[in-house]
A and B are shown apart, each in its own frame.
Chain A
């Protein structure tokens, strides 16, 4: 091998090795979702964008401005995250029903809670009929100085470290944003668990979400996750009950089709 060839090979290989992994990209996407400032007046016609936004589900920031739009953007972002679960249907059920990783959920409720009364109350920003009523962000109380980005990026193995000195001088994030970031992070964990074939862990995370955020924002995403988790565990009758109630309440949800075509469509 000549020196020139070696140089080309090393550079080419280094370009690949120094590129971020998809997990890093995803983590940053979530952190940015939680950090990007509002820059559209609340009176903007965000609600009208929801339908358009659904068609643009590949764009997590579509409509991502102003609090209602922000919630929409977050919902779509999670939609993108959940997009990988389309294939989570009959073909994959049963393969992962074992309790690999069950030890890690011993502190979590593993069972599927019924939709009522444990189902979180839908926040206005993501109500199931597609409407997005405006709500003034000024109503949201200011949060503690804990950085939103840190919570959104606090995934295991993250390379980043806390930088209290710098972050402390930044404007304090709102409490709602902080909760939202946590919700997003937990849903992401659930998605990863499902992707890794660990329906039990995913279900545990969803139940933990119910406990921690009973009035959470990402309700549709959460319930859809519960359905997919139950399908993964072959708990079809429970999945069917949850899924049908979900479809009745949120017939126009972006997740409706996926729920409809999940394990719940199998004959009883």
Chain B
């Protein structure tokens, strides 16, 4: 008997497929953090939201039955945690403050230096309707498959494809605007 596994999953729990919490944390922390930020959790609340996700993961890990991929299961927890925190943030009316903090658009030449992509994407996500934003974050930024995203969002997979197509169109439109600005900046006067 691997006692570490026993300790990790709780008393009397010996299912071999249950991963250790420490491994789960190590492998998924970055994704959870980034997903929560991308899904609209205010920056001031990301720390708390991340903690909530992993406390929840720790509590529910013994229940993980392996019917879905662990990654999908954790994203599902993160996604619903993000929803709760967004609601809380709206109630506290903290969102306008956060928007102010990231309201400055990157300049046309800034992408060349590779410094502002994150801010541009966050700004873009703020403008998307939530349904498209969620799909864009999970499919594009986190590179999850459409069936996995459908499972997390509890929608039909065709709905995921449809929202993704629309979100991508909007993203490209935003990028085209940026490219136009770059061209006009670079053009000789």
Contacts and interface: CB of A to CB of B under 8 A. Distances in A.
Interface residues of A, number: 54
Contacts of A53: 4
A9 B111 contact: yes
B151 interface: no
B50 interface: yes
Contacts of B43: 159
A166 B34 contact: no
Interface string A1-34: 1010011011111111111100011011101100
A159 B140 CA distance: 26
A56 B48 contact: no
Interface stretch (B7-15, B64-72, B126-134, B154-162): B7-15
Interface in B10-68: 10-11, 20-23, 25, 29-30, 33-34, 37-38, 43-48, 50-51, 54-55, 58-59
A92 interface: no
A19 to B, nearest CB: 5
A61 to B, nearest CB: 4
B118 interface: yes
Interface of B: 3-4, 7-8, 10-11, 20-23, 25, 29-30, 33-34, 37-38, 43-48, 50-51, 54-55, 58-59, 88, 111, 114, 117-122, 140-141, 171-172, 175-176, 178-179
Interface of A: 1, 3, 6-7, 9-20, 24-25, 27-29, 31-32, 35-37, 39-41, 44-46, 48-49, 52-53, 56, 59-66, 69, 149, 153, 158-161, 163, 166
Given A11-B117, A160-B48, 12 more contacts: A7-B171, A11-B121, A14-B117, A14-B122, A14-B141, A19-B33, A28-B47, A28-B54, A31-B51, A32-B54, A59-B20, A63-B7
Which 7 A-B pairs rank lowest in CB-CB distance, beginning with the nearest?
A160-B47, A17-B118, A13-B117, A61-B22, A14-B121, A20-B33, A14-B117
